[in-house]
């Protein structure tokens, strides 16, 4: 694959101060373990798994009802490790229970803001008591340990309470994207044989009421195992209840006792099944456990994001994306404060995100490159309207960066002072493979290194390590957060990640490491464009397109070409007050040809109003490609804006 100029050899633009290093959680961890340098930590964390993961559990103060005998058993191979062997715990005890009777009980755990501007806050003690009420309500319905329970709700406090209550009774959480249609919900609930579902009557999106209960009702017609539907009255739309099955949240939960028993669970008992969408076939249900996903989430927040107990984290996410549960478990295990918001980040005006940061004194802001590209079109004025002095750092995930948006966030919003902690991994990882941190310098679009504990590498087609060129991102050792497999489909799990090279996890991303040791993720390897034998990452084309002053967002795909094998087609969203024209189309084609070479000149440039995206702002290139070619797009259930697909079809 080509070595795009934007990805390698950039200038370092941020370095940590000695004070920041000294106060960092990563430095604290290294001091506790007697390591002098980050390179030492990375080496020991991937060669002595017993030492490292024991140290992480101690650092996070993870308490067990019954201690484990050893940290990991690899007797079934590194593809199927067993962690915290014989240990008994419940992760909710570590999130909430252990804080009762301590000063943490009175600290803020959760801040909620609605799209209409109303706020609610919960201390650790208040959240603990609400979770207990919900757990008692679930037990009163006959739900118990091992039962799978779905969450189809907006980002309101009740979704956090419900998630933790399911875990408290030993149930299995099924987070579902709040924008799903009935078929996507039914498929996932049926696969897990769910016994109950939480939902809301609806929510607000850009001032409009979005129905949820009606969608849930349609889905449950196809799910015979669900016996109970618990409904939050969010928008007061008079949604009808089905007698014997449906329960208003308030009627079921508000009167319950605020004391409840926390179920003792084996460390490897299932905690959560998060379904990921694929191009074909059934969604994959990644299984996570009590000693897996939450530990990895909190470790990444501490070692990468440097989140301290006095900090406030807001990450724009939906609970159906892994970053939702990641936000909940990670912040609570670290004793920090989370912010959730159930509206659009630019409604009712383009300053909404920045006003939220100011209002709630957010210290760490997690956003996607796609959202930043969308906000740039509004200019700098929305930022200048607000005091953003509480911010200590940014974080980003979801898509590869382009340099211009990265530098806009760094220089315009962060005034050239705040690090952007880039983060890339996945649902099956429980967090990050590579990540920025506050010990190492940063270049635009780059990652500092693998996360400690992640034996990441970049390899060529033969599986050999490479540096200074693009290859496949792989992982050579197991880690505590790795999925324990796909729900009821162990063969698909092995085939997806372990079948290409013996005992090596192949993640499906293009990656590279530059001469200074910084890492880059260049997109999904199945998004690769191959023109006349030359492999090209979509991000290379897209970075050039968005560098043009008329272009706000871009996506690039490869389409069949009889002569070249594939040709490039670009899709561009133009900035306000910019008109589409044949001249602009030709100028963009020439811009790419000049930057990448004439053979890579796009066959077409299409102007569209929007790009198909998930709620977490990932651009769905496979769906763009399918729409362009008139093919079946596969699973589209996670799209926030399906109308964008129809616009592409019509443009053809």
> What pLDDT is attached to residue 616?
63
Q: What is the pLDDT of residues 490-502, one digit of tens each?
A: 999 999 999 999 9
Residue 2 pLDDT greater than 60, yes or no: no
Give span(s): CATH 3.40.50.12780, the chain.
18-90+269-273+288-455+486-501, 98-263
Q: What is the mean pLDDT of residues 241-252?
A: 97
> What pLDDT is attached to residue 111?
98
Rounded Cα distance between 213 and 198, Å, is 10
> What pLDDT is attached to residue 277?
63
Burial class from Cβ neighbours inside 10 Å (0-12, 13-18, 19+) for residue 54 reads middle
Mean confidence (pLDDT) of the chain:
92
Q: Which of 161, 220, 158 has the alpha carbon at shortest distance from 194? A: 220
CA separation (Å) from 276 to 101, 564, 635?
39, 33, 10
> What pLDDT is attached to residue 343?
93
Assigned architecture for domain 528-651: 2-Layer Sandwich (3.30)
> What pLDDT is attached to residue 532?
64
The beta strand positions in 187-259, using DSSP E, are 196-200, 202-205, 208-211, 228-232, 246-248
CB within 8 A of 162, min separation 6: which ones? Answer: 134, 149, 151, 153, 198, 230
> What pLDDT is attached to residue 8?
53
Residue 379 pLDDT greater than 60, yes or no: yes
> What pLDDT is attached to residue 6?
40
Full DSSP string of 18-55: HHHHHH-HHHHHHHHHT--SHHHHHHHHHH-HHHHHHH
Q: What is the mean pLDDT of residues 448-458?
A: 98
> What pLDDT is attached to residue 116?
96
Q: What is the pLDDT of residues 125-170, one digit of tens each?
A: 999 999 999 999 999 999 999 999 999 999 999 999 999 999 999 9
Q: What is the pLDDT of residues 195-242, one digit of tens each?
A: 999 999 999 999 999 999 999 999 999 999 999 999 999 999 888 999
With bands split at pLDDT 50, 70 and 90, how would you rate the model's confidence at 281?
Answer: low
With bands split at pLDDT 50, 70 and 90, how would you rate the model's confidence at 3?
Answer: very low
Residue 534 pLDDT greater than 70, yes or no: no
CB within 8 A of 446, min separation 6: which ones? Answer: 10, 422, 436, 514, 518, 519, 520
Q: pTM for the full model? A: 0.88
With bands split at pLDDT 50, 70 and 90, how would you rate the model's confidence at 623?
Answer: confident
Residue 280 pLDDT greater than 50, yes or no: no
Residue 9 pLDDT greater than 60, yes or no: no
CA-CA-CA-CA torsion sign (404, 410, 412, 416): negative
Give span(s): CATH 3.30.300.30, the chain.
528-651
Rounded Cα distance between 310 and 327, Å, is 16
> What pLDDT is attached to residue 373?
85
Top-level class of domain 98-263 = alpha beta
Cα 104 → chain centroid:
27
Angle, vertex CA 557, rays to CA 553 and CA 559, nearest 5:
150
Assigned architecture for domain 18-90+269-273+288-455+486-501: 3-Layer(aba) Sandwich (3.40)
Radius of gyration, CA atoms only, the chain = 24
Pick the more confident residue, 357 or 648: 357
Residue 619 pLDDT greater than 60, yes or no: yes
Rounded Cα distance between 586 and 571, Å, is 13
> What pLDDT is attached to residue 225?
98
Measure CA of the first residue to CA of the last residue in the chain; give whole Å: 29
Rounded Cα distance between 484 and 268, Å, is 9
CA atoms within 13 A on the CB side of 52: 24
With bands split at pLDDT 50, 70 and 90, how would you rate the model's confidence at 615?
Answer: low
With bands split at pLDDT 50, 70 and 90, how would you rate the model's confidence at 4?
Answer: very low
């Amino acid at each position: 694959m080509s070595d795009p100029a934007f990805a390698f050899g950039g200038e370092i633009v941020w370095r940590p101060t000695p004070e920041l290093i000294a106060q960092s959680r990563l430095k604290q961890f290294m001091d506790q373990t007697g390591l002098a340098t980050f390179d030492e930590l990375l080496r020991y964390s991937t060669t002595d798994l017993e030492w490292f993961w024991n140290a992480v559990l101690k650092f996070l103060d993870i308490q067990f009802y019954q201690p484990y005998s050893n940290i990991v058993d690899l007797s079934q191979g590194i593809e199927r490790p067993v962690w915290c062997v014989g240990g008994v715990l419940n992760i909710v005890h570590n999130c909430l229970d252990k804080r009762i009777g301590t000063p943490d009980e009175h600290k803020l755990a959760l801040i909620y803001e609605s799209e209409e501007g109303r706020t609610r806050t919960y201390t650790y003690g208040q959240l603990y008591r609400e979770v207990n009420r919900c757990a008692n309500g679930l037990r009163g319905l006959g739900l118990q340990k091992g039962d799978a329970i779905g969450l189809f709700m907006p980002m309101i406090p009740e979704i956090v309470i419900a998630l933790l209550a399911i875990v408290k009774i030993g149930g299995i959480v099924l987070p579902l994207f709040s924008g799903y249609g009935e078929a996507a919900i039914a498929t996932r609930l049926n696969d897990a044989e769910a016994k109950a579902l939480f939902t809301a009557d609806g929510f607000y999106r850009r001032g409009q009421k979005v129905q949820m209960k009606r969608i849930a009702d349609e889905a449950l017609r196809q799910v015979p195992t669900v016996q109970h539907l618990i409904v939050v009255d969010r928008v007061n739309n008079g949604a009808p209840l089905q007698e014997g099955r449906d329960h208003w949240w308030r009627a079921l939960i508000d009167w319950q006792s605020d004391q409840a028993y926390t179920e003792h669970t084996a460390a490897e008992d299932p905690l959560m099944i998060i379904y990921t969408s694929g191009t074909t076939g059934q969604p994959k249900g990644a299984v996570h456990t009590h000693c897996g996903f939450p530990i990895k989430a909190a470790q990444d927040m501490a070692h990468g994001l440097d989140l301290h107990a006095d900090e406030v984290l807001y990450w724009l996410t939906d609970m159906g994306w892994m970053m939702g549960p990641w936000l909940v478990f990670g912040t609570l295990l670290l004793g920090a404060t989370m912010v959730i918001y159930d509206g659009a980040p630019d409604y009712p005006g383009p300053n909404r995100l920045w006003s939220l940061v100011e209002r709630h004194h957010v210290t760490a802001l997690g956003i996607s490159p796609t959202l930043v590209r969308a906000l740039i079109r509004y200019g700098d004025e929305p930022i200048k309207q607000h005091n953003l002095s509480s911010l200590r750092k940014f974080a980003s995930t979801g898509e590869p960066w382009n340099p211009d948006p990265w530098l806009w966030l760094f220089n315009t919003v962060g005034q050239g002072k705040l690090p952007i902690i880039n983060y890339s991994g996945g649902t099956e990882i429980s967090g990050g493979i590579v990540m920025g941190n506050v010990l190492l310098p940063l270049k635009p679009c780059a990652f500092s290194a693998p996360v400690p504990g992640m034996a990441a590498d970049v390899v060529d087609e033969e599986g050999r390590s490479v540096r200074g060129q693009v290859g496949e991102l792989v992982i050579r050792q197991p880690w505590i957060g790795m999925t324990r497999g796909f729900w009821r489909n162990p063969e698909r799990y092995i085939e997806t990640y372990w079948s290409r090279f013996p005992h090596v996890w192949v993640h499906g991303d293009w990656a590279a490491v530059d001469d200074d040791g910084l890492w880059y993720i260049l997109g999904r390897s199945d998004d690769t464009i191959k023109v006349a034998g030359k492999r090209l990452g979509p991000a290379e084309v897209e970075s050039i397109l968005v560098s043009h002053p008329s272009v706000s967002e871009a996506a690039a795909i490869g389409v069949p070409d009889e002569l070249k094998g594939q040709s490039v087609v670009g899709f561009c969203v133009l900035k306000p007050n910019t008109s589409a024209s044949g001249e602009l189309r030709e100028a963009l084609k020439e811009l790419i040809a000049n930057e990448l070479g004439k053979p890579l000149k796009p066959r077409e440039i299409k102007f569209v109003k929007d790009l198909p995206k998930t709620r977490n702002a990932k651009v769905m290139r496979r769906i763009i490609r399918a729409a362009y070619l008139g093919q079946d797009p596969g699973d589209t259930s996670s799209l926030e804006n399906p109308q964008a697909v129809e616009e592409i079809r019509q443009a053809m």
